[in-house]
Amino acid sequence: MHLASTFTISFRALRRNAMRSILTALGIIIGVGAVIAMVSIGNGAKSMVEAQIAALGENVLLIFSGSISQGGARSGSFGAGTLTVDDADAIQREVGTVIAVSPEVRTGAQVLANGLNWSTQILGESADYLGIRQWPLSDGTMFSEADTRSVGKVCIIGQTIVTQLFPDGSPIGQTLRIRNQPFKVVGILSAKGLSVQGADQDDLVIVPYTSAMKRVTKQTMLRSINVQASSPDTIVKAQNDIIALLRQRHRTNEQTDDFTVRNQEEIAQAATATSNTMTLLLGAIAGVSLIVGGIGIMNIMLVSVTERTREIGIRLAVGAHGSEIQVQFLTEAVVLSAFGGVLGILLGIGASEMLSRINHWPTLVSSTAVVVAFFFSAAVGMVFGFYPARKASLLDPIDALRYE
């Protein structure tokens, strides 16, 4: 029998019970739609994470001061306070693959300006910091190396500080007080938005690290050191060299290290692993509804076979082979589920679009997911249509013709 007539017969049979066909396909429509939408949400989250990891900067290595154990009590991360400016200088001087270093000091403080006050985070960094983080200024200039050397009272501020403390007019050149120390605003950072964890990345003031240590925290230890390697290929070498150098300087070994070095790649992997797990989980849950849709198809196909027993009998009587009857019912199931698949894809894309418009969730419709969902829905029809089709093909023509 021609493939074309098989399809014609299937379409006709499905159209005859249009309402029933649509309701049956609804299971697949919702299933496929859910898979597409869920995977889009997962992918959107993943791409956002990736963008934020990229926002860490280019070829960045982070050296954290680790924990130390004193009399059985272990300090938490950053507790050791063993990283020093000398360490940072040594890295800059001795590790050839490192092109920029920024020692980091971090503290919270109440900041005052224009008679307003705001509790924010104070970052002490070197002049290279913005280059390492690939973070452009929206206005003004970055403080210079000279400012770092001279423990200058200058700062650059994030967008949140602008809104909170300088509601009218440009803050450039104005003074801002941190723990009663006046700092002149020389630059404004461009907006970065929320971090993966939902923290406001624009709520900060950056001052030279020397100024932060001498004027604000009054401490000599660093929280961390930001390092930029010369290229992606040298990151691993730089990482190993830094570890070797610091072990030598701190007289530690693998067991007693009081610092950790992370490269951007590791951070990215950890973050995307989370979102990959989420995507998989969402997809799997949605996939269950596809299975349920498939069972719906099987159910309706069984009803259809029973209802059309006489038709099957006629076809067998005029010379249809069992296999042709089987192919016909299988085609019907596959047409039904593939039709549901196409509508489901549209529904899924529409739903993702709506989620990103209304809830401002980042969604990313994956073409792989669309193709996989379509073939999977067709396969669902194939699998769940097989039993009813087989049942139809095994009917005895005499019994089928007599069926009332």
- Name the 3-class secondary structure at 171: coil
* 296 within 8 A of 385, measured Cβ to Cβ: no
Retrieve residue 339's tokens. Answer: 């039709």
Q: Which residue has the tokens 């999977």?
A: 376
Nearest 5 degrees, angle CA 191-CA 195-CA 201? Answer: 40
* 221 within 8 A of 199, measured Cβ to Cβ: no
Q: Is the CB of 200 or the CB of 324 nearer to another protein?
A: 324
* 214 within 8 A of 151, measured Cβ to Cβ: yes
Give the footprint of another protein on residues 333-352 (CB under 8 A).
Answer: none
Q: Is the CB of 2 or the CB of 251 nearer to another protein?
A: 2
Q: Is the CB of 5 or the CB of 141 nearer to another protein?
A: 5
For the chain, report the end-to-end CA distance as a whole number of angstroms. Answer: 27
Q: Is the CB of 170 or the CB of 323 nearer to another protein?
A: 323
Q: Is the CB of 6 or the CB of 252 nearer to another protein?
A: 6
Taking the complex as a whole, how short is the minimal distance between the CB of residue 394 and another protein, in angstroms? 10
Q: Which region, left, alpha or beta, applies to residue 114 given φ > 0 means left and ψ of -120 to 50 means alpha? A: left
* Residues 256-295 as x/- pattern, contact with another protein by CB under 8 A: ----------------------------------------
* Residues 299-318 as x/- pattern, contact with another protein by CB under 8 A: -----------xx-xxxxxx
The H-or-E segment that residue 58 falls in is none
- Of 61, 93, 90, whose CA–CA distance to 232 is shortest? 61
Taking the complex as a whole, how short is the minimal distance between the CB of residue 331 and another protein, in angstroms? 14
- Of 107, 106, 105, 206, whose CA–CA distance to 160 is shortest? 206
Taking the complex as a whole, how short is the minimal distance between the CB of residue 279 and another protein, in angstroms? 46
Give the interface segment with another protein, choosing from 248-256, 257-265, 339-347, 393-401 (CB under 8 A): 393-401
Q: Is the CB of 45 or the CB of 335 nearer to another protein?
A: 335
The β-bridge relationship of strands 60-65 and 224-229 is antiparallel
Taking the complex as a whole, how short is the minimal distance between the CB of residue 315 and another protein, in angstroms? 7
Alpha helices in 17-137 (DSSP H): 18-54, 85-94, 129-133
Give the footprint of another protein on residues 153-182 (CB under 8 A).
Answer: none
Binding residues for another protein, how many (CB under 8 A)? 22
What single letter denotes the amino acid at residue 134? Q
* Residues 5-44 as x/- pattern, contact with another protein by CB under 8 A: x------x---x----------------------------
Give 359: exposed, middle or buried? Use CB within 10 Å, 0-12, 13-18, 19+. Answer: exposed
- Of 252, 197, 224, 246, whose CA–CA distance to 79 is shortest? 224
Does residue 398 belong to the site contacting another protein (CB under 8 A)? Answer: yes
Taking the complex as a whole, how short is the minimal distance between the CB of residue 328 and another protein, in angstroms? 10
* Residues 316-335 as x/- pattern, contact with another protein by CB under 8 A: xxxxxxxxx-----------
Q: Is the CB of 26 or the CB of 314 nearer to another protein?
A: 314
Q: Is the CB of 93 or the CB of 321 nearer to another protein?
A: 321
Nearest 5 degrees, angle CA 93-CA 86-CA 106? Answer: 115
List of residues contacting another protein (CB under 8 A): 1-2, 5, 12, 16, 310-311, 313-324, 397-398, 401
